[in-house]
Chains A and B, each alone.
Chain A
Amino acid sequence: MPHVMISSKKCTGCHMCELGCSAWHEGGFQPSRARLFADVNPTTAVIKGHSCLQTGCAKCQEACPNDAIVAREITVTPSGTFASKEKVGDSVTGIVLVVDEEKCNNCGDCYDVCPYGVIHEHPERKVAFKCDLCDGDPQCIAFCQNQYVLAVDLKVDKADRALTAKA
């Protein structure tokens, strides 16, 4: 199932992915509200990428007492290039986990279980917010665009732990 992932080895620490992600969703550049992030140690150059594995993880969905994390079908067609493009192809259809803001009551159970720290309370809307694959054009891929770096990749795994019935 499609998800984006940062290669910690390739990542240069430019944070363009966070900038693109936040501007697309929030109407302005605000990395504190990005849905993925690169944790960079400036001195040692050690970088750890954090992003949502979608149905390959789905812990938020399991934890949610209100069934607010719902599975939706999505076709991902990145406008930018990415490392595994040859393998994955131009377009991938699968499931993305999104927050149903009507059902979410900001109880915070998912914030505690996310192993990557990429689902949080939205400071204004007071509901959970997470990666939604940008309606199929991931901005993090679009802006990790140095062709010699291409650290944000589109991955497709077979695991599908999403409780699709809850969709």
Chain B
Amino acid sequence: MDFYKGHVLKIDMSTGTAEVEPLNMEWARLYVGGKGLMLRYLWDLTEPGMDPWSPENPLIVAPGPFAGTNVSTCSRVVLGGKSPANGTILDSYCGGSFGSVLKFAGYDLIIVQGCAAELTAVLIKDDKVSFVPAAKYAGMLTADIEAALRADFDPHMTSLSIGPAGEHKLPWACVSNDQYHKAGRGGTGALMGSKNLKAIAVAGTGRVTVGDARAFLEDIERIDTDYILTDSNYWVHEEGTPVLVDVTDGAGCQPTRNYSSGTFKGAGNINSEAFKKIRVKKRACYQCTLACRNFHRINDIEGEGPEYETIALCGSNVGVDDIAALMQFNHLCDEYGLDTISTGNVLGLAMDMTEKGIHDFGLHFGDIEAYLKIPEQLALRTGVGAELAMGSRALAAKYGHPELGMQVKGLEAPGYDPRGSFGMSIAYATSDRGACHMRSFPIGVEIVEGTMPADTLDESKAEFNVTFQNHYAFKFCGVWCDFWAIDYEQMGMLMKHLWKREVTEEEMTQVGERVWNLGRLFNLREGYSKADDVIPEAWLEKPFSDGVSAGKIIGTARFNEVLGQYYALRGWDEDGVPTEAKLTELGIDVRL
């Protein structure tokens, strides 16, 4: 078979056994791969209301069909399950090389269920799967565990591993691949930790076929030159994500001091220009020609990142503009295995509550000494970390100030305050995993391109979000990277190789819509409802007092009206439930 390997590797941690099952090709046709395929398997593998911390909660690892070829950016994998952080769908993406190498080993999907009695590592070498006791790796940081696995088993192994945060089941523990690549959001690391699974390492020597390989190579060479290595994509290579600091700061939507402002005085110290001065090298994920990643060195700290989200949440949002401290903080989060978005949110919240006199956590905006202790304290749940580990929603509620926790559906917010980009309010409220900028990104049209006003919210924004979400839901089935601004025409050129026929935009949009609706059904099944499609009140009712977005207000009534329009455009009823007609139209075969 071309592109797909046709194999699903099912791992049972409780019994220490693995078996290979044929890939469900009907699902592969309907859901393509990545996010969609993961979700369809997730639905089938779980009972409604399943406790996400239970052994039954599957960890599903799904690359897309183009992983293991030279289609740029498609080495990415999605890690999925039911989120331990908040109980929504969990789909968290990670670059690096795992997706490609998994295909060389012969698998389209890994499903891990059960829980091992002791900390365990799973090794996959082509068709051989083994379970090794991981007591000697317990507590190891990311760099060490990866190096140990390579040294102990195979120098070519690449692994998905957790740091101490995952072992201690921090709800926003992440999973690492090739040191700097993280499946960050939603607690993939906690999910691994809850299975006593320290690492999955894979080495593969097999082949991914694509039909006529030489014709394929010629086509990809053309696509790369015409559509990837273009002037408009050049920023990815030249700047990488730190370029967003000036963009969001200039637009008044950079989270600053627990989202109390959209502009940060120290932004110039932690923007792309500042990072370029300490850049040593450009790096790339496996099978990616864009090479967005920046390897930095300052003092004795070196490594990739921080990316924009880290700069915003662990920089401006906690009042830190010291580039060396930020590098070190990022490094510690990488090593201990923490998602920096949630970390920066919780920390900003604790600092805010301290400074407002609500509760003294001993943490203050800009206090670098205390700040640098946080990653370890959170990961090991020691000191103040023991309490902060409950996350923004619970922490803010505990001290009677839920309005200070910047989260949606329990997931902490990323680096874009909707007060500077109104369309983001609907993007966050309707995102299938809580506050997330990777489902729809109105920032692009409202700020970067300026083709839609940033300070209006009306039906056109509802429509924009629907279109974008469908596009991205499909894009994440092929598992193209966000940084390739790939449109339907270009995806069609690649899909033509996969399906061996012309593929229309309509077909691809429909896959995206199908995936989006299945995600919605899952969340509804797990108890989420319209009442949860809300965002923090401050974003709707409390205008900023400084920056270009000062004084601007979305308003709750307006927000609710546009949310209703969004449901209607989606073909959902007033309560945000997909109608029978919609599900039938999309060929979704499951029901609530």
Stretch at the interface among A53-61, A84-92, A140-148: A140-148
B146–A43 contact, CB under 8 A?
yes
Complex Cα distance, B210 from A26, in Å, reads: 12
B289–A30 contact, CB under 8 A?
no
Report which of B147, B234, B289 forms a contact with A16, defined as CB distance below 8 A.
B289
B285-311, CB < 8 A from A: 285-291, 293, 295, 302-304
Q: How large is the interface on B (under 10, 10 to 19, 20 to 34, 35 or more residues)?
A: 35 or more
CB proximity of B124 to chain A, nearest CB, Å: 15
Report which of A12, A31, A45, A139 forms a contact with B291, defined as CB distance below 8 A.
A12
A146–B291 contact, CB under 8 A?
yes
Complex Cα distance, B229 from A129, in Å, reads: 32
A145–B224 contact, CB under 8 A?
yes
Report which of B143, B180, B213, B286 forms a contact with A28, defined as CB distance below 8 A.
B213
Complex Cα distance, B213 from A24, in Å, reads: 7
Q: From A46, which residue of chain B is reached at the shortest CB distance?
A: B281
Complex Cα distance, B234 from A126, in Å, reads: 44
B238–A145 contact, CB under 8 A?
no
CB proximity of B7 to chain A, nearest CB, Å: 16
Report which of B147, B210, B289, B303 forms a contact with A146, defined as CB distance below 8 A.
B289
A45–B281 contact, CB under 8 A?
yes
A23–B291 contact, CB under 8 A?
no
A20 within 8 A of B: yes
Q: How many residues on chain A are close to B (CB under 8 Å)? A: 32
Stretch at the interface among B201-209, B361-369, B414-422, B429-437: B201-209
B179 within 8 A of A: yes
Interface SS of B by simple majority:
mixed
A146–B229 contact, CB under 8 A?
yes
A14–B285 contact, CB under 8 A?
yes
A15 within 8 A of B: yes
Chain A residues with CB below 8 A from B288, complex form: 14, 16
B216–A30 contact, CB under 8 A?
no
A28–B207 contact, CB under 8 A?
yes
Known contacts A28-B207, A30-B207, A149-B282; A80 and B221 CB within 8 A of each other? yes
Total cross-chain contacts (CB, 8 A):
116
Q: Which of A26, A43, A44 has the most CB of B within 10 A?
A: A43
B289–A19 contact, CB under 8 A?
no
B336 within 8 A of A: no
A16–B70 contact, CB under 8 A?
yes
Chain A residues with CB below 8 A from B238, complex form: 148
B68–A32 contact, CB under 8 A?
no
Q: From B181, which residue of chain A is reached at the shortest CB distance?
A: A42
Q: From A148, which residue of chain B is reached at the shortest CB distance?
A: B237
A105 within 8 A of B: no
A45–B289 contact, CB under 8 A?
no
Chain A residues with CB below 8 A from B220, complex form: 143
A43–B179 contact, CB under 8 A?
yes
Report which of B143, B158, B287 forms a contact with A14, defined as CB distance below 8 A.
B287
A145–B289 contact, CB under 8 A?
yes
Report which of B158, B213, B221, B282 forms a contact with A142, defined as CB distance below 8 A.
B221
Q: From A25, which residue of chain B is reached at the shortest CB distance?
A: B213
B69–A43 contact, CB under 8 A?
no
B276 within 8 A of A: no
B566 within 8 A of A: no
B229–A145 contact, CB under 8 A?
yes
A79 within 8 A of B: yes
Chain B 19-49 against A: per-residue CB contact (8 Å), 1 yes, 0 no? 0000000000000000000000000000000
B208–A42 contact, CB under 8 A?
no
B139-188, CB < 8 A from A: 143, 146-147, 158, 178-180
A24–B214 contact, CB under 8 A?
yes
A15-68, CB < 8 A from B: 15-16, 19-20, 22-24, 26-33, 42-45
Chain A residues with CB below 8 A from B96, complex form: 42
Complex Cα distance, B291 from A107, in Å, reads: 41
A127-144, CB < 8 A from B: 139, 142-143
Complex Cα distance, B478 from A104, in Å, reads: 43
Complex Cα distance, B497 from A23, in Å, reads: 15
Complex Cα distance, B208 from A32, in Å, reads: 12
Q: Which of A23, A30, A42, A80 has the most CB of B within 10 A?
A: A42
Complex Cα distance, B214 from A79, in Å, reads: 14
Q: From B205, which residue of chain A is reached at the shortest CB distance?
A: A32
B348-376, CB < 8 A from A: none
A13 within 8 A of B: yes
Chain B residues with CB below 8 A from A147, complex form: 229
B70–A42 contact, CB under 8 A?
no
B92-111, CB < 8 A from A: 96-97, 100, 104
CB proximity of A28 to chain B, nearest CB, Å: 4
Complex Cα distance, B499 from A58, in Å, reads: 45
B206–A30 contact, CB under 8 A?
yes
Chain A residues with CB below 8 A from B280, complex form: 45
Chain B residues with CB below 8 A from A15, complex form: 97, 100, 286-287
- Which residues of A line the B interface, CB within 8 A? 12-16, 19-20, 22-24, 26-33, 42-45, 79-80, 139, 142-143, 145-149
Besides A19-B287, A31-B104, A79-B221, 10 other A-B contacts (C-beta < 8 A): A14-B286, A15-B97, A23-B213, A26-B213, A28-B210, A28-B213, A29-B210, A30-B205, A45-B304, A143-B70
Residue pairs across A and B with Cβ atoms less than 8 A apart, 8 shown, are A23-B214, A30-B104, A31-B104, A33-B207, A42-B158, A142-B217, A143-B70, A143-B289
